[in-house]
Amino acid sequence: MRLWSIHPQYLDAAGLVALWREGLLAQAVLRGETRGYRHHPQLQRFKDAPEPAARIAQYLAVVHAESVRRGYSFAGDKSARPATPRPSR
């Protein structure tokens, strides 16, 4: 999982696409929608935030804005979905 600390404008096309995909994966992890990657160190800065799901949504919004600036068609609504409660196991 690569969640860069640099602004997405500095990434090449492949890096930006990878960041978007992995950011969406991180969002799913933080929402409890997947069991994989829960302890990945790249997630710690989001977990430390008061509202981790809101923080990753902000991060994805910046990535999406960069994709729009470049003329790409990332599905921005994927980062805007409200969190859905998951049944406990």
Amino acid letter, residue 5: S
Please, what sign has the CA dihedral across residues 26, 31, 36, 42? Answer: positive
Q: How confident is the model at residue 4 (pLDDT cuts 50, 70, 90)?
A: confident
Question: How far is the C-alpha of 89 from the C-alpha of 53, rounded, in Å?
Answer: 21
Pick left, alpha or beta for residue 81 (phi over 0 → left; psi -120 to 50 → alpha; otherwise beta): beta
Question: How far is the C-alpha of 59 from the C-alpha of 36, rounded, in Å?
Answer: 20
Question: pLDDT for 7-65, tens place per residue?
Answer: 999 999 999 999 999 999 999 999 889 888 888 888 999 999 999 989 999 999 999 99
- Per the CB < 8 A criterion, the answer to whether 75 and 35 are in contact is no
Structure tokens given for 88: 């406990």
The per-residue pLDDT for 39 is 85
